[in-house]
Amino acid sequence: MIDVAFLGTAVRPAGTAVVVDVLRATSTITLALASGYERVLVAGTIDEAKALRTPERTLAGEVGCARAPGFDLGNSPEETREPRGAELVLATTNGAPAIVAAAASSDEVLVASLLNLDAVLAQLVGREDILLVCAGTDGAVSMEDVYLAGRLSAQLEGERSDAARIAEAVAAAYPNPVDALEASAGAVGLHREGLESDIAFCAQESVIATVPRLAETVDGIAVIETADEPGI
Amino acid sequence: MIDVAFLGTAVRPAGTAVVVDVLRATSTITLALASGYERVLVAGTIDEAKALRTPERTLAGEVGCARAPGFDLGNSPEETREPRGAELVLATTNGAPAIVAAAASSDEVLVASLLNLDAVLAQLVGREDILLVCAGTDGAVSMEDVYLAGRLSAQLEGERSDAARIAEAVAAAYPNPVDALEASAGAVGLHREGLESDIAFCAQESVIATVPRLAETVDGIAVIETADEPGI
């Protein structure tokens, strides 16, 4: 079954959970690993991220879209393009808790963005019991995440739930990805903070072949590394 | 703000909550009041409905789509067409608990189905802070409820949430209501129980002018009566 959880808080156990937070956490994780970070340590809260601080680690994260106080980076994907070390620590309002929640309920967790859409689809071929987890924005269902869930679902084979077909209808309603992102409540916050360039960046489709994957969970921290290529 | 709760369990306080369970609870309540029942006593559980039994009351409800054991009627709308008294007691798996939950969090609660679509829209003119509550099916988001939420949202004026725009995209994807209902997981259960005629009945659009409205809540039972006509 292909199913969609419309909120990170609605996650349930599944064979494979695919977490989606297009604006911006899962886009940031995708680019960070593609850029050379060896792993991303995803924390459920800002305080948990702070507790992971070492001289070798880079802290990234946001509160209300803006960089978290005392952090090295915000949550703009492009800030991760030049790695400062092997490990990025990430704490965000919606996507990071969704990843931690998915990691607590499913052994196999992938991280999807528009940036790596085709690569994620390649990883999902032949899998059953797929749950596409939309992070949402500030506790509310968000357009851009349901849009990407629908893009993914539409390309997968197998029975699908009503939720998956709802997401597919949303994806079909926006021929151009940037329109789905700009239609979202998340975009409003980014415009407010002068971060609108993140929207255009995150709307790029299948420009990265990296698929982030849960390697392990340590003390509630989800350790995300690059998945092996499918079929290897 | 026009917003949509995709599940009855996701209800929150709102100026006006509009509960939607197209297949079949809100369709049944709509027809019951239009047919002459003076009120519908909506119970959150089968046991609570049983406790309301008196010689004058008619008990209606379902478990797994089939009539609840010992009840007078199932949850097929047309079973209410010839009232057996003034009060119908209703307990169902999804819609009834959603109504009880909405009644616990919002003072103003309306009950919508495709049958009374235009009449509900007329009641909503000029209201702000509208939450369209989709009951869902067995704890999962259901196509037919999100479809009707989208039909309602598309005709309302005012700012709307991402969830409302998602529902509108779903509504736009099904030009014919019966296709949205047949695409739902709820329809599968009705076909299984030989109740497919309920699907065609519930797919009828704006054939009833009655709008059921929460009159009061007594010991956790939502008492639903016919709303006054708008503007009176």
Task: Round to whole Å and give the CA distance between A212 and A30.
Answer: 6
Query: Which of A6, A169, A183 shows the shortest C-beta gap to B6?
Result: A6
pLDDT category of residue B232 using cuts at 50, 70 and 90: very low
> What is the pTM (predicted TM-score) of this model?
0.95
Q: What local confidence, expressed as pLDDT, does residue B118 receive?
A: 98
pLDDT surpasses 60 at A34 = yes
A93-105 per-position pLDDT tens digit: 999 999 999 999 9
ipTM attached to this prediction: 0.94
Are A166 and B141 within 8 A, CB to CB?
A: yes
pLDDT surpasses 60 at A44 = yes
Q: Does the CB of B173 have a partner CB in chain A at under 8 Å?
A: yes
Q: Does the CB of A137 have a partner CB in chain B at under 8 Å?
A: yes
Are B166 and A172 within 8 A, CB to CB?
A: no
Task: Round to whole Å and give the CA distance between B116 and B179.
Answer: 18
Which positions in chain B touch A169 (Cβ < 8 Å)? Answer: 169-170, 172-173
Mean pLDDT score of chain B, rounded to an integer? 96
- What ranges make up the beta strands (E) of chain A? 2-5, 16-20, 39-43, 58-63, 66-67, 87-91, 108-112, 130-134, 212-218, 221-226
A118-143 per-position pLDDT tens digit: 999 999 999 999 999 999 998 999 99
B12-53 per-position pLDDT tens digit: 999 999 999 999 999 999 999 999 999 999 999 999 999 999
Q: What local confidence, expressed as pLDDT, does residue A228 receive?
A: 84
Q: What local confidence, expressed as pLDDT, does residue B215 receive?
A: 98
Are A185 and B162 within 8 A, CB to CB?
A: yes
CB contacts < 8 Å between A and B, how many?
Answer: 61
pLDDT surpasses 60 at A54 = yes
pLDDT surpasses 60 at A211 = yes
The whole-number average pLDDT for the span A35-51 is: 98
Q: What local confidence, expressed as pLDDT, does residue A232 receive?
A: 44
Q: How many CB atoms lie within 10 A of CB A191?
A: 14
Q: Does the CB of B172 have a partner CB in chain A at under 8 Å?
A: yes
CA distances, A12 to each of A181, B5, B63, B128 (Å): 26, 19, 24, 34
The whole-number average pLDDT for the span B116-143 is: 96
Closest chain B residue to A166, measured at CA = B170
Residues in chain B: 232
Which positions in chain B touch A165 (Cβ < 8 Å)? Answer: 143, 183
pLDDT surpasses 60 at B231 = no
pLDDT surpasses 50 at B9 = yes
- What ranges make up the beta strands (E) of chain B? 2-5, 16-20, 39-43, 58-63, 66-67, 87-91, 108-112, 130-134, 212-218, 221-226
